[in-house]
Protein backbone atom coordinates (compact mmCIF):
# COMPACT_ATOMS: atom_id res chain seq x y z
CA UNK A 1 0.00 0.00 0.00
CA UNK A 2 1.47 3.30 -1.10
CA UNK A 3 -1.33 5.67 -0.01
CA UNK A 4 -4.24 5.62 2.51
CA UNK A 5 -6.80 5.51 -0.33
CA UNK A 6 -5.72 1.93 -1.13
CA UNK A 7 -7.18 0.78 2.19
CA UNK A 8 -10.97 0.87 2.64
CA UNK A 9 -12.17 3.73 4.79
CA UNK A 10 -13.93 1.60 7.43
CA UNK A 11 -10.98 -0.75 7.71
CA UNK A 12 -8.56 2.20 7.88
CA UNK A 13 -10.53 3.78 10.75
CA UNK A 14 -10.62 0.47 12.60
CA UNK A 15 -6.88 -0.02 12.23
CA UNK A 16 -6.12 3.57 13.32
CA UNK A 17 -8.25 3.05 16.43
CA UNK A 18 -6.41 -0.17 17.22
CA UNK A 19 -3.06 1.58 16.70
CA UNK A 20 -4.04 4.46 19.00
CA UNK A 21 -5.13 2.06 21.76
CA UNK A 22 -1.90 0.08 21.42
CA UNK A 23 0.24 3.24 21.63
CA UNK A 24 -1.61 4.51 24.72
CA UNK A 25 -1.26 1.09 26.31
CA UNK A 26 2.49 1.01 25.61
CA UNK A 27 3.01 4.17 27.73
CA UNK A 28 5.68 5.47 25.32
CA UNK A 29 5.66 9.33 25.39
CA UNK A 30 7.82 9.71 22.28
CA UNK A 31 5.67 7.31 20.26
CA UNK A 32 2.45 8.97 21.44
CA UNK A 33 3.79 12.44 20.60
CA UNK A 34 4.88 11.26 17.18
CA UNK A 35 1.45 9.76 16.44
CA UNK A 36 -0.36 12.90 17.58
CA UNK A 37 1.79 15.50 15.82
CA UNK A 38 2.96 13.84 12.62
CA UNK A 39 1.22 14.55 9.26
CA UNK A 40 -1.15 12.07 7.64
CA UNK A 41 1.54 10.53 5.41
CA UNK A 42 3.82 9.62 8.31
CA UNK A 43 0.84 8.46 10.39
CA UNK A 44 -0.12 6.05 7.60
CA UNK A 45 3.49 4.79 7.56
CA UNK A 46 3.18 4.04 11.26
CA UNK A 47 -0.08 2.20 10.56
CA UNK A 48 1.61 -0.01 7.96
CA UNK A 49 4.41 -0.79 10.41
CA UNK A 50 1.83 -1.61 13.07
CA UNK A 51 0.03 -3.99 10.69
CA UNK A 52 3.29 -5.66 9.65
CA UNK A 53 4.20 -6.26 13.30
CA UNK A 54 0.98 -8.23 13.92
CA UNK A 55 -0.63 -5.47 16.01
CA UNK A 56 2.37 -4.75 18.23
CA UNK A 57 3.97 -1.34 18.83
CA UNK A 58 6.81 -2.36 21.12
CA UNK A 59 9.01 -2.95 18.03
CA UNK A 60 8.44 0.57 16.62
CA UNK A 61 11.32 2.90 17.45
CA UNK A 62 11.25 6.67 17.10
CA UNK A 63 14.50 8.61 16.87
CA UNK A 64 14.67 12.40 16.67
CA UNK A 65 17.87 13.86 15.22
CA UNK A 66 19.22 17.37 14.66
CA UNK A 67 21.92 17.47 12.00
CA UNK A 68 24.22 20.27 10.84
CA UNK A 69 25.98 19.73 7.56
CA UNK A 70 28.52 21.40 5.30
CA UNK A 71 28.79 20.48 1.63
CA UNK A 72 31.70 21.42 -0.62
CA UNK A 73 31.34 20.92 -4.38
CA UNK A 74 33.89 21.44 -7.13
CA UNK A 75 32.88 21.73 -10.79
CA UNK A 76 35.47 21.65 -13.60
CA UNK A 77 34.37 23.13 -16.93
CA UNK A 78 36.23 22.25 -20.13
CA UNK A 79 35.97 23.73 -23.62
CA UNK A 80 37.26 22.48 -26.98
CA UNK A 81 39.00 25.24 -28.95
CA UNK A 82 41.69 25.76 -31.58
CA UNK A 83 45.18 27.07 -30.86
CA UNK A 84 44.24 30.33 -32.57
CA UNK A 85 41.51 30.88 -29.98
CA UNK A 86 43.98 30.09 -27.19
CA UNK A 87 46.47 32.63 -28.57
CA UNK A 88 43.74 35.28 -28.51
CA UNK A 89 43.26 34.61 -24.80
CA UNK A 90 46.88 34.14 -23.65
CA UNK A 91 48.74 36.16 -26.29
CA UNK A 92 51.72 35.19 -28.45
CA UNK A 93 54.61 35.82 -26.08
CA UNK A 94 57.21 33.14 -25.53
CA UNK A 95 55.71 32.16 -22.17
CA UNK A 96 52.18 32.13 -23.62
CA UNK A 97 53.16 29.88 -26.53
CA UNK A 98 54.91 27.49 -24.13
CA UNK A 99 51.78 27.43 -21.93
CA UNK A 100 49.49 26.72 -24.92
CA UNK A 101 51.76 23.92 -26.11
CA UNK A 102 51.69 22.41 -22.61
CA UNK A 103 47.87 22.54 -22.59
CA UNK A 104 47.66 20.70 -25.93
CA UNK A 105 50.45 18.25 -25.16
CA UNK A 106 49.44 14.60 -25.40
CA UNK A 107 46.21 15.32 -27.32
CA UNK A 108 45.88 14.22 -30.96
CA UNK A 109 43.23 16.90 -31.46
CA UNK A 110 39.99 16.64 -33.37
CA UNK A 111 39.33 18.29 -36.74
CA UNK A 112 37.37 21.53 -36.73
CA UNK A 113 33.83 20.82 -38.09
CA UNK A 114 34.07 23.58 -40.70
CA UNK A 115 37.86 23.75 -41.25
CA UNK A 116 39.13 20.15 -40.97
CA UNK A 117 42.75 21.25 -41.46
CA UNK A 118 42.62 22.98 -38.04
CA UNK A 119 42.71 20.87 -34.89
CA UNK A 120 40.72 21.53 -31.72
CA UNK A 121 41.94 20.71 -28.21
CA UNK A 122 40.20 20.20 -24.88
CA UNK A 123 41.35 22.66 -22.21
CA UNK A 124 40.15 23.61 -18.73
CA UNK A 125 38.20 26.89 -18.75
CA UNK A 126 37.22 27.36 -15.11
CA UNK A 127 36.94 25.64 -11.74
CA UNK A 128 33.90 26.49 -9.61
CA UNK A 129 33.84 25.64 -5.89
CA UNK A 130 30.61 25.91 -3.90
CA UNK A 131 30.28 25.56 -0.13
CA UNK A 132 26.83 25.04 1.39
CA UNK A 133 26.08 24.97 5.12
CA UNK A 134 22.74 24.11 6.69
CA UNK A 135 20.92 22.18 9.38
CA UNK A 136 17.92 19.92 9.55
CA UNK A 137 15.98 17.77 11.95
CA UNK A 138 14.38 14.49 11.08
CA UNK A 139 12.63 11.53 12.63
CA UNK A 140 13.55 7.94 12.00
CA UNK A 141 11.21 5.06 12.71
CA UNK A 142 12.10 1.41 12.47
CA UNK A 143 10.15 -1.75 13.06
CA UNK A 144 11.30 -5.26 13.86
CA UNK A 145 9.76 -8.62 14.56
CA UNK A 146 8.49 -11.69 12.76
CA UNK A 147 5.81 -11.53 10.02
CA UNK A 148 3.57 -14.59 9.78
CA UNK A 149 0.94 -13.54 7.24
CA UNK A 150 2.04 -14.55 3.64
CA UNK A 151 0.22 -11.54 2.11
CA UNK A 152 2.07 -9.12 4.40
CA UNK A 153 5.36 -10.83 3.59
CA UNK A 154 4.74 -10.32 -0.12
CA UNK A 155 3.86 -6.63 0.39
CA UNK A 156 7.01 -6.04 2.45
CA UNK A 157 9.17 -7.72 -0.19
CA UNK A 158 7.76 -5.42 -2.90
CA UNK A 159 8.48 -2.33 -0.81
CA UNK A 160 12.04 -3.46 -0.11
CA UNK A 161 12.68 -4.17 -3.80
CA UNK A 162 11.76 -0.59 -4.74
CA UNK A 163 14.22 0.82 -2.23
CA UNK A 164 17.02 -1.56 -3.17
CA UNK A 165 16.49 -0.82 -6.86
CA UNK A 166 16.90 2.90 -6.22
CA UNK A 167 20.02 2.20 -4.13
CA UNK A 168 21.61 0.24 -6.98
CA UNK A 169 21.34 3.26 -9.30
CA UNK A 170 22.99 5.68 -6.86
CA UNK A 171 26.48 7.02 -7.46
CA UNK A 172 29.35 6.36 -5.09
CA UNK A 173 31.86 8.75 -3.52
CA UNK A 174 35.60 8.34 -3.74
CA UNK A 175 36.61 8.42 -0.07
CA UNK A 176 40.13 9.67 -0.87
CA UNK A 177 39.28 12.62 -3.11
CA UNK A 178 35.61 13.19 -2.24
CA UNK A 179 34.74 13.03 -5.95
CA UNK A 180 31.37 11.55 -6.94
CA UNK A 181 32.06 8.71 -9.37
CA UNK A 182 29.96 6.01 -10.96
CA UNK A 183 30.38 2.40 -9.97
CA UNK A 184 32.23 1.53 -13.17
CA UNK A 185 34.45 4.46 -14.05
CA UNK A 186 35.74 4.21 -17.58
CA UNK A 187 39.50 4.20 -17.94
CA UNK A 188 40.62 7.11 -20.16
CA UNK A 189 42.09 6.05 -23.50
CA UNK A 190 45.58 7.03 -24.58
CA UNK A 191 46.08 9.01 -27.83
CA UNK A 192 47.36 5.82 -29.48
CA UNK A 193 44.22 3.89 -28.48
CA UNK A 194 41.94 6.68 -29.72
CA UNK A 195 43.73 6.89 -33.08
CA UNK A 196 43.68 3.09 -33.50
CA UNK A 197 39.95 3.01 -32.67
CA UNK A 198 39.22 5.60 -35.37
CA UNK A 199 41.27 3.57 -37.85
CA UNK A 200 39.18 0.47 -37.06
CA UNK A 201 35.95 2.43 -37.51
CA UNK A 202 37.24 3.74 -40.85
CA UNK A 203 38.14 0.19 -41.93
CA UNK A 204 34.60 -1.01 -41.11
CA UNK A 205 33.07 1.80 -43.18
CA UNK A 206 35.24 0.93 -46.19
CA UNK A 207 34.17 -2.73 -45.94
CA UNK A 208 30.51 -1.71 -45.89
CA UNK A 209 30.96 0.53 -48.93
CA UNK A 210 32.69 -2.28 -50.86
CA UNK A 211 29.67 -4.50 -50.20
CA UNK A 212 27.10 -1.79 -51.01
CA UNK A 213 28.51 -0.51 -54.32
CA UNK A 214 27.84 -3.61 -56.50
CA UNK A 215 24.37 -4.02 -54.97
CA UNK A 216 23.43 -0.41 -55.67
CA UNK A 217 24.64 -0.60 -59.30
CA UNK A 218 22.75 -3.85 -59.88
CA UNK A 219 19.51 -2.58 -58.29
CA UNK A 220 19.55 0.69 -60.24
CA UNK A 221 19.84 -1.28 -63.48
CA UNK A 222 17.28 -3.85 -62.33
CA UNK A 223 14.56 -1.34 -61.37
CA UNK A 224 15.32 1.06 -64.23
CA UNK A 225 15.97 4.18 -62.15
CA UNK A 226 15.60 7.13 -64.50
CA UNK A 227 17.99 10.08 -64.94
CA UNK A 228 20.71 8.30 -62.97
CA UNK A 229 23.37 7.59 -65.60
CA UNK A 230 25.83 10.05 -64.00
CA UNK A 231 25.28 8.51 -60.58
CA UNK A 232 25.81 4.98 -61.95
CA UNK A 233 29.05 6.08 -63.64
CA UNK A 234 30.21 7.64 -60.34
CA UNK A 235 29.44 4.40 -58.46
CA UNK A 236 31.47 2.40 -61.00
CA UNK A 237 34.40 4.80 -60.54
CA UNK A 238 34.09 4.42 -56.79
CA UNK A 239 34.52 0.66 -57.14
CA UNK A 240 38.06 1.35 -58.37
CA UNK A 241 38.75 4.20 -55.95
CA UNK A 242 37.98 2.24 -52.77
CA UNK A 243 40.44 -0.61 -53.39
CA UNK A 244 43.60 1.19 -52.26
CA UNK A 245 42.16 3.08 -49.24
CA UNK A 246 40.28 0.03 -47.94
CA UNK A 247 43.38 -2.18 -48.03
CA UNK A 248 45.43 0.52 -46.30
CA UNK A 249 42.72 0.98 -43.64
CA UNK A 250 42.63 -2.76 -42.90
CA UNK A 251 46.42 -2.80 -42.58
CA UNK A 252 46.53 0.19 -40.23
CA UNK A 253 43.60 -1.10 -38.14
CA UNK A 254 45.56 -4.30 -37.47
CA UNK A 255 48.67 -2.43 -36.35
CA UNK A 256 49.86 -3.47 -32.85
CA UNK A 257 49.23 -0.79 -30.25
CA UNK A 258 52.94 -0.60 -29.37
CA UNK A 259 53.78 0.36 -32.98
CA UNK A 260 51.12 3.08 -33.35
CA UNK A 261 52.20 6.66 -34.01
CA UNK A 262 49.14 8.54 -32.75
CA UNK A 263 49.76 11.81 -34.59
CA UNK A 264 50.61 10.19 -37.94
CA UNK A 265 47.72 7.71 -37.78
CA UNK A 266 45.22 10.42 -36.82
CA UNK A 267 46.43 12.60 -39.68
CA UNK A 268 46.03 9.72 -42.15
CA UNK A 269 42.49 8.99 -40.89
CA UNK A 270 41.54 12.65 -41.31
CA UNK A 271 42.91 12.66 -44.87
CA UNK A 272 40.66 9.72 -45.81
CA UNK A 273 37.41 11.23 -44.55
CA UNK A 274 36.70 13.58 -47.52
CA UNK A 275 36.82 10.70 -50.03
CA UNK A 276 34.82 8.47 -47.66
CA UNK A 277 32.13 11.12 -47.15
CA UNK A 278 31.79 11.70 -50.91
CA UNK A 279 31.36 7.99 -51.67
CA UNK A 280 28.95 7.49 -48.76
CA UNK A 281 26.86 10.38 -50.07
CA UNK A 282 26.59 8.79 -53.53
CA UNK A 283 25.66 5.42 -52.00
CA UNK A 284 22.92 7.01 -49.86
CA UNK A 285 21.61 8.88 -52.91
CA UNK A 286 21.41 5.66 -54.94
CA UNK A 287 19.61 3.81 -52.12
CA UNK A 288 17.11 6.65 -51.84
CA UNK A 289 16.36 6.58 -55.57
CA UNK A 290 16.02 2.78 -55.59
CA UNK A 291 13.60 2.90 -52.63
CA UNK A 292 11.53 5.58 -54.40
CA UNK A 293 11.15 3.32 -57.47
CA UNK A 294 10.48 0.11 -55.53
CA UNK A 295 7.71 1.55 -53.34
CA UNK A 296 5.16 2.29 -56.17
CA UNK A 297 5.78 -1.11 -57.77
CA UNK A 298 5.18 -2.90 -54.51
CA UNK A 299 1.96 -0.92 -53.94
CA UNK A 300 0.68 -1.68 -57.43
CA UNK A 301 1.33 -5.37 -56.91
CA UNK A 302 -0.67 -5.38 -53.69
CA UNK A 303 -3.62 -3.53 -55.28
CA UNK A 304 -3.86 -5.81 -58.36
CA UNK A 305 -7.52 -7.08 -58.55
CA UNK A 306 -8.14 -10.76 -57.90
CA UNK A 307 -11.17 -12.76 -59.27
CA UNK A 308 -13.72 -13.43 -56.56
CA UNK A 309 -14.81 -16.94 -55.54
CA UNK A 310 -18.44 -16.16 -56.38
CA UNK A 311 -17.73 -15.40 -60.07
CA UNK A 312 -15.79 -18.65 -60.43
CA UNK A 313 -18.63 -20.69 -58.95
CA UNK A 314 -21.22 -18.97 -61.18
CA UNK A 315 -19.16 -19.75 -64.28
CA UNK A 316 -18.98 -23.39 -63.29
CA UNK A 317 -22.75 -23.61 -62.88
CA UNK A 318 -23.45 -22.02 -66.27
CA UNK A 319 -21.12 -24.50 -67.98
CA UNK A 320 -22.99 -27.35 -66.40
CA UNK A 321 -26.30 -25.91 -67.55
CA UNK A 322 -25.14 -25.64 -71.16
Mean pLDDT value across the chain: 75
Q: Which residues of 112-149 are buried (b: 16+ CB within 10 A; e: fewer)?
A: eeeeeeebbbebeeeeeeeeeeeeeeeeeeebeeebee
Lowest mean pLDDT among 25-39, 74-88, 114-128, 233-247: 25-39
Answer whether residue 101 shows pLDDT above 60. yes
Q: Checking DSSP bridges between strand 180-181 and strand 172-173, what pairing results, if any?
A: antiparallel
Q: What angle do CA 242, 243, 247 make, to 5 degrees?
A: 110
Beta bridge partners of 242: none
pTM: 0.38
Q: Which range, 34-38, 128-132, 142-146, 149-153, has the best average confidence (pLDDT)?
A: 128-132
Query: Looking at residue 262, what DSSP letter applies?
Result: H
Higher-pLDDT residue of 136 and 99 is 99
- How far is residue 79's CA from residue 123's CA, in Å, rounded to a whole number? 6
Residue 321 pLDDT: 44
Answer whether residue 285 shows pLDDT above 70. yes
- How far is residue 126's CA from residue 244's CA, in Å, rounded to a whole number? 46
Residue 72 pLDDT: 81
- How far is residue 137's CA from residue 64's CA, in Å, rounded to a whole number? 7
Position 316 confidence tier, pLDDT thresholds 50, 70, 90: very low
Position 191 confidence tier, pLDDT thresholds 50, 70, 90: confident
User: What number is the average pLDDT over the span 67-81?
Assistant: 81
Residue 22 pLDDT: 78
Cα distances from 110 to residues 44, 104, 153, 302, in angstroms, run 58, 11, 58, 51
- How far is residue 253's CA from residue 81's CA, in Å, rounded to a whole number? 28
Answer whether residue 225 shows pLDDT above 60. yes
pLDDT tens digits for range 43-72: 777 777 666 665 565 555 555 565 676 778
The interaxial angle of helices 191-222 and 229-241, nearest 10 deg, is 140
pLDDT tens digits for range 236-274: 888 888 888 888 888 888 888 888 888 888 888 889 889
Residue 186 pLDDT: 64
Residue 252 pLDDT: 87
- How far is residue 280's CA from residue 259's CA, in Å, rounded to a whole number? 30
Amino acid sequence: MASPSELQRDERKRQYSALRRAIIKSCSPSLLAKFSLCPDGERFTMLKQFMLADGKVDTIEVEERYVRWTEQLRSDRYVTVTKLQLYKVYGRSKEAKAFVEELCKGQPGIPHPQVPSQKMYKVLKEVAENTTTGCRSDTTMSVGGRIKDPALKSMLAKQLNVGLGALESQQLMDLKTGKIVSKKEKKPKSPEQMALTEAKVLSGKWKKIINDLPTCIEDMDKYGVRNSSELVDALRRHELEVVGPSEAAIQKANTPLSDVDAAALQEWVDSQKPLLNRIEGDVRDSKRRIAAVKAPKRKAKVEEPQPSDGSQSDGGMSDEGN
